[in-house]
Chain A
Amino acid sequence: VCFIPGGLDCSVSFVSQILGKVCIRGRQKEILSVLVPHLTDLTKSDCIWQRICWRLVECVPDRWMEAVVLGFVQKAPGADVLSRLLGNLVVKNKKAQFVVTQKMLLLQYGYTTAVLQNLLGYLSLDSLRRALMIKVLQELLETWGSSSAVKHSPVEQQQYISKAILICLSHLKEPEIESCRQELLMSMMEGVKCHLDSSLPQIRRLGMIVAESISSKITTDGPVLKFQYEEDDEARELKSLLVQAPLLSVLPDLPDNNRNENAEAALPAVLESNGKSPTETTHVMPDGDSDAELDSDDDLVPYDMSEDKELKKTKAPVYIRDCIEVLTGSEDLDKWEEAVKALEGLVRKNPAAAREVSVELAKILLHLEEKTCLEGFAELRQKAQVAVLTTDPIPVAQYLTSQFYSLNYSLRQRIDILDVLVLAARELSCPKAHGKTKHSGAQNPCIQLLPESDSSKDWRRIVDERIKSKTRRFAKGQSQVERPSGPNEFSSLAGHFFFPLIQNFDRPLATFDLLGEDHFVLGRLVHTLAVLMYLAVNTMAVTAMGKALLEFVWALRFHTDSYVRQGLLSCVSSVLLSVPAERLLQDVTEELLETRLWLEDVVEKDPDGDCRRLALQNLLLMENLKKKLETVPS
């Protein structure tokens, strides 16, 4: 579509209408992929063309404005191009303003980061539009900081809003920051609180990154807010948004210049590196020479000095009872440290002695607090607890599960109890690969002893892999070599671990209310039950456990915390995987049917993506079970 310039007083409204009609029919991509590059070139330096372009979009009728604007924003290669094409459309046209500032940012969340950059960059480039950008930032922060939004909106939407906030922050200039510093600070405080309350680690991390970014922008001097979180690709990508991205449109316009520049830039870098290496080598030479000269004279052979270690004033205790004495009474911190370090080894080496004092040890370890700055204290304590539990499972499990529901324990201690139970169960059960044929590419479904706490993701991954290994049956990959098998020591103990935990969850205590505020612990409890269920495969109590677990799930199925719901769904997976199919259909039929109805509901209506996916996998598992039973000749 070519335009004929010249002194013609042409009206472009007709073209606008065509454009609008085409866009509303859904053909934005086709028409704009031709139109936008042309317009980009033409409007680069020619003011008249810019005006023509602006008239073009301004004349699009309101009912088609949304489609056109959306198309332009998505198609434009950069924020400045968008600015040239659209001009001050958002200021002049109400509908366009609504689309750009409200709909694309707050009501939809499917657009890519590049589109967000375009949009917000466009808003920042003109002074008239900057006021809009400030308003947009305020609304984004309001949404980000509202606790109901954090609890109920999907993770993807929260990520999108966070990205938008970071890009806005990158465009803010000093005077603007000055004027809205207080507001930024207030919204940051509120928002951080809601985010850190959440049970999902992703949400917490998003909150931390955004709060850090806001803090770095508003505090010019003095300490900046700094959180500790895992740095991975997502975090790095988000943080890179805070730095203004260079204008991308510069490169295609000046290819030759840029290439030259790049080449020039490359040359000095190469020269530098070349220059460095000769000097390095020359540095090495003299040392090497002098070394050689001395070594040839020095024919004194050193003896083995590996025994030369730091002189310790106290020796490590050798008896378990000594350890107990030191840990309970002693004021001597060196002895205390040695006892903590030595305990796990001693318990494992002397199981008979450990069994005599197992409950006492468990009590001491549960209440053991860090007295000195010992490295890896939490890990040492946990390993010792696992050792005690595996050496004398029944009494210690009884003790721990009863303490889980007792008064006056900290959340950390209750979660410790859960972690220890799971680790001990894993160690006792040593599940092996069942040698089933599976995709050659699938990962090893055997449970390795993975590192402990915050491993809810790991458990889910293990269960997922198990599901994967069972649902993909059509391709016969190579069968894995059978790992050496040992007796499953967990079989007689599964009940002791499992049932006490599941009994009292609905009785609130003064300091511990699983169904109320402490839903984080409830989430962990649910995940623990899922793992225990999974590890109880092929044990005698598995059917009873499955029944109890499905009832438990039924009682909690409408919980508002998505972490808890994910846990419930993994419980269902564990039940379906562990309880043999015949038992399921005979003894657990009613619960199974009810659960199935619930799963279908979750797949359709749950706001959390992970929950929906898990529910879908569970339904697939159920289908497979049914098919398997139907094909088995009875």
Chain B
Amino acid sequence: MAQKRGQRGASSSSADDPEVVAHVPLQAVLLADSFNLKFRPITLERPKVLLPLVNVPMIEYTLAWLESVGVEEVFVFCCAHSQQLKQYLNQSEWTKPAARFSVSTIESHDAISAGDALRVIYEKSVIRGDFVLISGDTVSNMSLAQALLEHKERRKKDPLAIMTMIIKHSKPSNVTHQTRLGTDEVIMAFDPETKELRFYEDKADPSQRVISLDKILLADSPAFYMHNDKQDCYIDICSPEVLSLFMDNFDYQHLRRHFVKGLLIDDIMGYKIFTHEIHSSYAARIDNFRSYGTVSKDIMQSWTYPLVPNVKYFGCCSNMKLDRQGVFKALDVVQSRSAQIGAVTLIGSGSTIGDHSVISNSVIGQECTIGRNVSVHGCYIWNNVIIEDDCKLNHAIVCDGVHLRTGVVLEPGVILSFKVEVGQQITIPAYSKVSLLPQPSIQDSDEELEYADANSGVIESRSITSMISTRNAELSPDYSATENSGLSEVGIAGVGYIWCSYEGGNDEEWRHSVAPIPASKLAELSHEDYEDPDVSYQEVNSTPVSGELRPDSEITGDDDADGTDYGDSADFDKEVEATFQRALTGVNQETVILEINSLRLSCNKSHADCAGALFLSVIKLGLEAPNSSNGELYQNTAKEINRWKDILKHYLKSVDEEIEIILKFEEICLEIATELSPLFSTILSSLYEKDILSEDAILSWASEKEGADESDKIFVKQSERFITWLKEASEEEDDED
């Protein structure tokens, strides 16, 4: 009875008389869209939740778990590729009348984030009580009973306890600061007694060496635990209020970054989030390719029991046999006598393996044909893949229908999307992604309704054009010829586009790839790790006064704030330059202005600073172009100034900013690019002609400089003629008036 009352309190939709509703079924919301781009290019063609994980679509694992924990109603929220997903579900066991729970789909094509999805679900008003919120790419075998009970107990005592997060111990690597699932380390703080979550940070700024926690955390309780060794399983038990909170805060997008952090910061509503730690059972979310690999191996090693290949759980692929060394083989596999199948490998039904081929630590799908002398190590090969003789595959993901011709080499981290064909003797460089579909440009990246991380725009990426050219250079000529000629299959070559990395840059690819982290990278990182502290300690030690450690000194006063201002103005220039560089690569000017504005706000700079920094970037551009004489240099610079004058003008709202530009220009000529100094007056006059600088600005600059040292007046003198001309011109104008 007590429990019933608790549920009734929790249920916000009171359509029925509570006395009649004796039983609120446990519901679940399954988000069948990850709202990110990490599985591209594969997700362009198939929703992530239908990708095979050890030959079973991911969503099967999630649904099987939901069924096993007693969930009675599942709402599958589909977004990208909703038709495929619906079709899949309609054909699956889950929607058959015999199924033990009901699965229904909710479809929306506008949702670009988990927040949007939950808002859609709210509007459908289908959730009547506590529900499990899970993403369709989660693998778990935990029992929810205890967590559910705790959640309900808490709700009874405190209606503000609206969410229970499942966490698990998992120590991130000390070197890479990511977990074995390839996710960033999460820093959490919670109350040791109640397990209430007090702090959550999954995107800790790596440049920051300390984590700052609000003192408020210690106001209520004398102690809390801080962890970086917990992994967020992304399984949440939520009360219906969660949905209405998403409704109220229409800007909440990301479940963790916005919702959880939002609740933790908000002390007006006082909503609380609790954690439940699981110890012996398994729970992991497949967030990226690395977790895909890790979870696959965990499944093959039966950590996820009973969700393992040789247990008849999913209906399909039940004819698996477990051999020694953790090798799973379907009964109808045709394997050459001389082929070696190493540890922790699964081979799906109908596949054939040729002579002298070596396979280890891999998953091979159904109906695959593997030729002779092929070596496959740490790969995930899906269905109907043809691998011809002498191929070498190392830590790659190979999707359905791929055809690798003789002698192809896949370096670690390669992703081959559906039906890609690779011509003979071609080596695909590490971390490449190949797809039949061309890479969408950045602007329409949410075409697929996947939510691009808001931060990604700020991350500096290598120029796209240069990426492609280097990539192509690495390929053998006939392959790149294919690329140029589009999709047509050219003789012995293959079909597909090589994608260039667009998010986070190639440098970060290794983090999320299926391939193990290269040793060189590790050495580099651990070296950095050694270097780092010294820097910060020097900083610390340089603060002089006793008792005032670095943390203090930041708050000592206004003068300090000024100090930092000067210190990072060079950084600011760099940032602006980097942003500006992207304008060159095709980002349109308005976006650049927007980004510079946000930089300006975040660095607390004035318009004048922006103008100065931008001007510097433009001048540098002019300098970069090859030049042999001053005349050419002038031409180049003038051309760039002309090209970017719109952006420049945007920041030149008043005379003050224009003067700032002139001063900056002086500085550039004196310090950065001395070769420009003879051109000072010419460029100045061209700036005037292009309406970038007004005569007022130039004249007041000149008058400002009148009292200055001789050394400061070089440029005024150089421009004397121009200035006198200006003066006369303005006097003439005055006369005319």
Say if A and B assemble together.
no
